[in-house]
Amino acid sequence: MSNKHLFLNKVTEQVKSKEAKQSIKLEMEHHIQLAKKGWIRKGLTEKEAEEKAINEMGSPIQLGRELSGIYRPIIDWVIVALTVSLLMIGILPTLSSPLLFIAQKLFMILLGITIVIGFMYVDYRKFADFGYLFYLTGSLILITVIFFNNITINGMNYIKIGPIIIKGIMAIPFFLLAWASFFSKKEFRYVSFLCLFFFSCVLFLFGFDSISTVFIYIFTVAVMLFWSGFSKKKVFITFGTGTILLLWMLFITRGSYQLNRLMAFIFPERYAQEAGYFYLYLEKIWANLKWIGPPDMEKLTFINNTDTVFLQLTYQFGYVMAVILVLLFGTLILKMITNVKKTKNQYAKFLLIGSITLYSVQVIYNLGMCMGFLPVISLSLPFISYGVVPTVINALLIGLILSVIRRKNFQ
């Protein structure tokens, strides 16, 4: 091995990232090459010139130490701590339940933390070129649910094979990875976007998953589209026609039912006997809350509904709990958003935007719904609500975000 390569290897020895290693070597080799040429012109032999050029670079050990510092992987401990705290708070609503329930929730917390930490170490850049593969996987999950579903709960179709349940919502992370890859490619055409998006929406609508799944999917892609390279005119035309089309599709498929629910949200008194009951009940609860501690230990009638877990926690522990939860979620979301601007790599950027939107829209909608600002749909509160699938999906999103942040120094 030549002196030059010995020098370059020494310099990059302590740098952890392979890509950073390669690019530093290439850059410094170019420098040494040019310096060497200069010395040859001044009359040194080739060997002497190289020796001289290498010596002029300075101490390889010190250089290596500094470079390893520059390209050091980063762990965002604030995001990790907030995620773990939220997962832990999720145990509170189950405390009055049977032991098995608590044990299951504990298992979910551990699973969540494992996925978050595990995914942080996965190099997201490996996914960058497999957009179509992820799109295909997501579509296959939905198609399987449409054609081979064997159980229906609350109007939603699932596949149940032994203990494993396959739901339409599981397709969402795959579509997220696909869209991040598509949007980051310069050669991605607007027409391809329209076709791919339309097809996926049709699958989601026919998958007869809950309306909230379709909603968070479309919302996430819309936000990613807003940041994409397409012209703003195209983006807004898509938003406009998309909204009209969506409302029309909703109307022809489940029109009267959805309309009824919406009217109940706007005029709860008129629908007090049916869908409006919940909103009236909500108002009553918020009106009777105290700052700390329970007004009385009366159990909420919809206590079994894990989607309203925010309401239950507030009811049990007072307004303070509501404030704590909003602060924790708010800080987590803001902390994640601050990283978007610092991200230069396009794929990483779309991955961040998509993951943050997907996570935040659930949090914000759920809190808004529990406070009575938004109509009720079946959407759980990330990390606090009960349920393996949402926990896994949301842990995966946070893990992806941490994976991007970890490598932001060497994109």
Partner 1 sequence: MEKRLKNLQPGLKKTYFDHLPFTAEHRKEIMKKIQIKNKEEEILLAALQLLHNRKTGFELTELLRARGFQKFENQEGFIYTFLHRLEQKNIIVSEWENNKIKYYQIDRKGKKLEKKLETEGGRSKNIRELIDWVYVNE
Record the tokens describing residue 229, joined without a space. 């390279």
CB within 8 Å of 178: residues ≥ 6 apart = 131, 132, 134, 135, 138
- Using a 10 angstrom Cβ sphere, with 0-12 exposed, 13-18 middle and 19 or more buried, the burial of residue 104 is middle
Q: In DSSP terms, which residues pair with 305 in a beta bridge?
A: none
Nearer to partner 1 among residue 22 and residue 114 (C-beta) = 22
Nearer to partner 1 among residue 129 and residue 274 (C-beta) = 129
Q: Minimum distance between the CB of residue 184 and partner 1, rounded to whole angstroms?
A: 17
Distance CA 381, CA 326 (A): 12
Nearer to partner 1 among residue 97 and residue 409 (C-beta) = 409
Nearer to partner 1 among residue 59 and residue 114 (C-beta) = 59
Nearer to partner 1 among residue 15 and residue 82 (C-beta) = 15
Q: Minimum distance between the CB of residue 208 and partner 1, rounded to whole angstroms?
A: 47
Which residue, among 329, 303, 325, 365, has the nearest Cα to 93 in the 3D structure? 303
What are the counts of helices (DSSP H) followed by strands (DSSP E) for the chain?
16, 3
In three-state secondary structure terms, 157 is: strand
Nearer to partner 1 among residue 45 and residue 62 (C-beta) = 62
Nearer to partner 1 among residue 4 and residue 261 (C-beta) = 4
Q: Minimum distance between the CB of residue 377 and partner 1, rounded to whole angstroms?
A: 40
Q: Minimum distance between the CB of residue 344 and partner 1, rounded to whole angstroms?
A: 8
Residue pair 348/210 in contact by the 8 Å Cβ criterion: no
Distance CA 399, CA 395 (A): 6
Residue pair 384/93 in contact by the 8 Å Cβ criterion: yes
Q: Minimum distance between the CB of residue 68 and partner 1, rounded to whole angstroms?
A: 11
Nearer to partner 1 among residue 185 and residue 254 (C-beta) = 185
Q: Distance of alpha carbon 224 from its chain centroid, rounded?
A: 12
Sheet holding 151-153, edge to edge: 151-153, 156-161, 164-166
Residue pair 194/328 in contact by the 8 Å Cβ criterion: no
Q: Minimum distance between the CB of residue 39 and partner 1, rounded to whole angstroms?
A: 13
Q: Minimum distance between the CB of residue 342 and partner 1, rounded to whole angstroms?
A: 8
- The residues that touch partner 1, with contacts defined as CB under 8 A, are 11, 23-24, 26-28, 30-31, 34-35, 55-60, 62-63, 66-67, 70, 342, 409
Record the tokens describing residue 224, joined without a space. 């990613």
Distance CA 208, CA 407 (A): 38
Nearer to partner 1 among residue 30 and residue 270 (C-beta) = 30
Q: Minimum distance between the CB of residue 206 and partner 1, rounded to whole angstroms?
A: 45
Distance CA 357, CA 179 (A): 13
Q: Minimum distance between the CB of residue 25 and partner 1, rounded to whole angstroms?
A: 11
